Copies of this chain bind each other. A is one copy, B any other.
Amino acid sequence: MTAVIGLSAVVMAVQDDRTVVLTVREPGQSAGLPFGLFDPDGDRTFELALRRFVTAQTRFDLGYVEQLYTFGDLGRDAPLADTGQKAEDRAARVISVGYLGLTPQAIDTHARNSYWSDILQFFPWEDWRDGCPAAVAALESPLRLWAGPTPPRLDRIRLLFALDGSPWNEERVLERYELLYEAGLVPEATRDRGETLLTQRALPDSILGEAMISDHRRILATALGRLRGKLKYRPVIFEMMAPEFTLSALQRAVEAVVGMTLHKQNFRRALERTDLVEGLGRRDQDTGGRPAELFRFRREVLGTRPVSGLSLPLLRDEASET
């Protein structure tokens, strides 16, 4: 009646307009998340354990941290830890508790096998900043093939992948990944079933995304979806910003996370109303055109009054031709 408890960390940052995640890659293997076992006799809390081993594995100190989800299902919904076992082999069942961490500095001491990876490497269909991504276009016909002409599946792919005029919902990252898994399209699906059915012929990683160890891509999808949702009702984006930033840099960071382009002035007007940032009078000279004013996050408002996140006034130009 006992189980092993694992902790997985999704540590995210924004770097050059791309959302990146801290990954660990053993030579010759798929990428994975920083992962460690929880020691019930030694660790007082999950969070402390997490901070400890993330620092050990990546020499990186976590800042903002929150619990995501606990993955414990057997079979195709959440396979065993990647020890090469079949799902039927229940010798060493691992329950894994996923955590999300945010940090402003992706540029950091790389230790051993840890790297920052662009999340689009794993979810190429999640970036709509330059209109409908190539991956979605390429996935449309395999998805329709899987769905067939009947409502239940068809409605689902329409809703999740913005087909037939459905609007794109950036938060449903996990549901999209799970659908691709269910459709047997992502490599993990066939891998977890022990090399069984190949429903579709293989598509390149540039469309399906790169596979990860164990159920780490599922955990990553959970994290991205949660972060995208949370931006709107908590000012978490500032956990990913340097202490001083320009409004454009802030907007580009939000865009990188959300994967959509925002309307500049409406973004600023909404931001102004929240009173979350404060101009510093000084300007950033390195922007290319006119120097931009520097701002800082007024962290002090957090304790003082109810704060919501940022509104996301979408730009509907080339960004949507569904």
- Contact of A75 with B by CB under 8 A: yes
Known: A2-B2, A38-B3. A73 touches B46 (CB 8 A): yes
Q: Which chain B residues border A90 with CB–CB below 8 Å? A: 40-41
- Contact of A279 with B by CB under 8 A: no
A1 CA to B67 CA, complexed, in Å: 21
Docked-complex contact B72 and A159, CB < 8 angstroms = no
A2 CA to B37 CA, complexed, in Å: 9
| A2 smallest CB distance to B (angstroms) | 4
Identical copies of this chain, number = 2
- Contact of A56 with B by CB under 8 A: no
- Contact of A39 with B by CB under 8 A: yes
- Contact of A246 with B by CB under 8 A: no
Q: Interface on A for B, CB 8 Å cutoff?
A: 1-5, 37-41, 44-47, 67, 69-70, 72-75, 77, 90, 93, 95, 97, 151-152, 155-156, 159, 166-167, 169, 303-306
Known contacts A44-B73, A46-B70, A166-B306; 17 further A-B pairs (Cβ under 8 A) = A1-B4, A1-B38, A2-B2, A2-B3, A2-B4, A2-B40, A5-B5, A5-B72, A5-B95, A41-B93, A44-B75, A45-B73, A72-B97, A152-B303, A155-B304, A159-B306, A169-B306
